[in-house]
Amino acid sequence: MSGEHAHAHPNYIKIWAILVFLLLVSVAGPMLEHPIITLITAFGIAFVKAFLVAKHFMHLNIEKKLATYLLCTAVAFMLLFFAGTAPDIMRHEGQNWEHQSAKHETARALKAAEHDPAAH
Amino acid sequence: MKPIATTRSVTGIPTGRLAIWWVITSEIVIFGGLLASYIMHRLGHEEWAGYAAHTNTLAGGTNTFVLLTSSLTIVLAHKAAEAGDGRKAFRFIWCTIFGGLTFLVIKSLEWTAEIKAGYTITTNNFWSFYYTAAGLHGLHVIAGMIIMGIISFQARRNKELQRVELIGLYWHFVDLVWIFLFPLLYIAK
């Protein structure tokens, strides 16, 4: 990397070709309309693409570990945020509470979609 | 003579590059928070699948291809800069800027069609997330293009070539964000 000893560069065009191939799979997979296949092809492949970009284009594999620790710390905080707030957002009722406006909005939107699929 | 801050390196990472890693770290929290909020709302509101059906997968997929290709050109600019070839780096940087411009043109056409169809930022929470996430990402694309434009002319004179790598790291991160935005907004229907 710049400022240090020059390093051997991987074949970037080959990595780009793999990324484009993965993009095509991630678009084609969900067309099968199977939830598991959609999950794997759309989101699983997104993680693979992110890994390839981070490793080969951002050179995290040859960067000092400090950079990886920095990035992982931010991701950990993001996951902590998700874990702390998701139960209240993803569910619309609990043992002692009810999110009435969310329930009403979901019911309203689904009913509207039944009558007019193009409704928004 | 350069200021000490640009030459010292306690961590073993050159100061400029360490600064970029910090920028990217803070960006993870910004985009991560936004995407995490989107995911939890998406999972909590089944009607959002119907809203997402109106996004344009072809436009999103094309833009993914454009950004992946621009990531290739900026890493080739970094390779050229590392070899001391500033003029070659200059050309690859401008290929990347062109990629950013293509991305924005496609995004503009896409948004125009959606707004004309009645899907605006105030339509409902899904479209609010859609325009906020894609808009914030678009602002990062514009910022990256401006910085690349400035750096390119320094690179052409073989000056501050290390900056090519620094803007490259930022640009790859912008690409990474889109890699996750694409399935969330365009594929999961």
Summarised one tens digit per residue, pLDDT across range A12-37 is 999 999 999 999 999 998 888 888 89
d(CA B3, CA B8) in angstroms, rounded, equals 9
Q: What is the pLDDT of residue A3?
A: 47
Residues of A in contact with B57 (CB under 8 A): 27
Cβ-nearest to B72 among A16, A50, A109: A16
B73 touches A at CB < 8 Å: no
Is B136 exposed, middle or buried (CB count within 10 Å of its CB: 0-12, 13-18, 19+)? middle
Confidence of residue B82 (pLDDT cuts 50, 70, 90): very high
Determine whether the interchain pair B44/A26 forms a contact, defined as Cβ–Cβ distance below 8 Å: no
Q: Rounded to a whole number, what is the distance in Å from the CA of B5 to chain A's nearest CA? A: 14
Determine whether the interchain pair B187/A42 forms a contact, defined as Cβ–Cβ distance below 8 Å: yes
Please tell me which residue of chain A has the smallest CA distance to B170: A58
Helices marked H in B9-85 — which ranges?
Answer: 15-44, 48-52, 57-82
Name the residue with higher pLDDT: A95 or B167: B167
Q: What is the pLDDT of residue A6?
A: 61
Residues of A in contact with B12 (CB under 8 A): 64, 66
What separation in angstroms does the CA of B157 have from each of A97, B81, B84, B96, B153?
Answer: 65, 11, 10, 19, 7
B165 touches A at CB < 8 Å: yes
**Mean pLDDT, rounded, for B140-151:** 98
Determine whether the interchain pair B47/A2 forms a contact, defined as Cβ–Cβ distance below 8 Å: no
Q: Is the pLDDT of residue B142 over 80?
A: yes
B12 touches A at CB < 8 Å: yes
Determine whether the interchain pair A110/B47 forms a contact, defined as Cβ–Cβ distance below 8 Å: yes
Residues of B in contact with A86 (CB under 8 A): 36, 40, 43
**Mean pLDDT, rounded, for B142-170:** 97
Q: Which residues are bridge partners to A98 per DSSP?
A: A93
Q: What is the pLDDT of residue B1?
A: 63
Q: Is the pLDDT of residue B20 over 80?
A: yes
Q: Is the pLDDT of residue A5 over 60?
A: no
Phi/psi at A98 (nearest 5 deg)? -145, 130
Q: Is the pLDDT of residue B188 over 90?
A: no
Q: What is the pLDDT of residue A113?
A: 83
Q: Is the pLDDT of residue A116 over 80?
A: no
d(CA B59, CA A45) in angstroms, rounded, equals 19
Listed as own residue / partner, the contacts of A61-70 with beta carbons closer than 8 Å and 24 or more positions apart are A62/A1, A62/A7, A63/A1, A63/B13, A64/B11, A64/B12, A64/B13, A66/B11, A66/B12, A66/B13, A66/B18, A66/B21, A67/B13, A67/B18, A67/B21, A70/B21, A70/B22, A70/B25
Q: Rounded to a whole number, what is the distance in Å from the CA of B188 to chain A's nearest CA? A: 8
Predicted TM-score of the model (pTM):
0.92
Is B33 exposed, middle or buried (CB count within 10 Å of its CB: 0-12, 13-18, 19+)? middle
Cβ-nearest to A46 among B68, B81, B180: B180
Q: Is the pLDDT of residue B160 over 90?
A: yes
Rounded-to-10 torsion of CA A38, B32, A69, B179: 40
Confidence of residue A120 (pLDDT cuts 50, 70, 90): low
Q: Is the pLDDT of residue B14 over 60?
A: yes
Is B1 exposed, middle or buried (CB count within 10 Å of its CB: 0-12, 13-18, 19+)? exposed
Q: Residue B43, SS3?
A: helix
Residues 120-159, chain B: which have Cβ within 8 Å of A?
A: 123-124, 127
**Mean pLDDT, rounded, for B94-102:** 98
